[in-house]
Every structure is written in structure tokens, then in C-alpha cells.
Amino acid sequence: MSKTYYTRDHEYLIVEGETAIVGITDYAQEQLGDVVFVELPEIGKKVTKGGEAAVVESVKAASEVYAPLDGEVVEVNTAIADDPSLVNQDAAGKGWFVKLRIADAKALDGLMDEAAYTAYLATLG
């Protein structure tokens, strides 16, 4: 069974065992506008919480996708490199960026669940 977590930087993690699928939330892709380019990391790259995990560029801006926790990249979504618009079309589905092997599951305790993230979005007005 998977569980979804969120960060204040608008990344989501879908945790399945020791692996987390990481992407940007619908809110983030709406703020970016049309995504035109995605730069993904190499498989095997070690990422640290708050560090760059990927780069996304839109017609409005270029932004980093931050690693929500420490881990190792075990898979990247080459489909979004070929067709960046997938991020806009299905951010929480086909538009994911990377899969990470989670270094320390305790790091999940500092992340928000869906209810907390929804409440956080309401404060951004």
C-alpha cells in the first residue's frame, strides 16, 4: 500500500516500501504554466534533502525540483524528458520525475499528509 506525502516546496512523494516516487504537485505545475523542458538526474545519483533532484522549465520560469529527503535515484521518468507537457497534463500520475530509494524512513515524519498540505495551500491565498 502506498502513502502520499507533500513538502512546502510543492513536491509530492508516493511511498511504496523503501522507494518514493517524486514529482511536483498540481499547484506547482499551475504556478509554472506550460512546462517546456525537464532535466533529470543520472540513475545512481545520491540526493540530499533540500538539494536539487531535477530541473523543470516553463514558459514563465526555470525551477528546481528539490529532494524531499535523502536517497538514491533508482529510476527517472524519461517520458517527461521526451514530452514535458505530461507534467501539466498529469502531475501526480504520468508526470512524475524520479524514484528514490529512501535512505531513512524517519525523514517522512517531517512531511505533510494531504490534509495538512491542503490547509497549507489555503494559507497561500
What does the pLDDT look like over 58-98, one tens digit per residue? Answer: 999 899 999 999 999 999 999 999 999 999 999 999 999 99
Query: Which domains occur in the chain, in start order?
Result: 3-124 (2.40.50.100)
| β partners of residue 73 | 100
Whether pLDDT at 125 is above 80: no
Beta bridge pairs of residue 66: 52
Residue 91: phi, psi to the nearest 5? -55, -40
d(CA 95, CA 58): 14
Q: Are 55 and 87 in contact (CB under 8 A)?
A: no
Cell of 92: 501526480
